[in-house]
Amino acid sequence: MESQRQQKMNRLLQKDLGEILQRDMSDLGLGAMLTVTKVSITTDLSLANVYISLLAANDNEEVIKNLNKHKSEVRYLLGQRVKNQLRVIPVLRFFEDDSLDYIENIDRLLRNE
């Protein structure tokens, strides 16, 4: 169970990372539209798993690799935004959010039967 502080930081990081990836570093998406769907931060607030939904991407794995390659630059920009709320800026790890694919697959299976 996440603490109230973790939940607050998850929402803050999700909002700020979304803005960074869409405005400041939009070239990291390699032409795809990126949406931060979920952020999960550890209890000590040192590591944040960032789940990204990709639209119109040619190669999803390549986009995620590119994000992880440039995560220190994204972390720096994040630090500029949240420096007053967090003492230590968490290390970022980017993952593809495949929950929409999972939902579509379940929906397709239910319609077929």
Residue 113 banded pLDDT, cuts 50, 70, 90:
low
- Report CA torsion sign: 28, 29, 31, 33: negative
Domain positions in the chain are 4-112
- What is the per-residue pLDDT across 12-26, written as a single tens digit (0 to 9) for each? 999 999 999 888 887
pTM of the model: 0.84
Question: Which pair of structure tokens corresponds to residue 92?
Answer: 């970022």
Instruction: For tokens 């949406």, name the residue.
Output: 35
Rounded Cα gap, residues 3 and 59, in angstroms: 36
pLDDT single digits (tens) 25-47: 878 777 778 889 999 999 998 99
CATH architecture for segment(s) 4-112:
2-Layer Sandwich (3.30)
Tens digit of each residue's pLDDT (9 = 90 or more) over 47-80: 999 999 888 778 888 889 999 999 999 999 999 9
51, 96 in Cβ contact below 8 A? yes
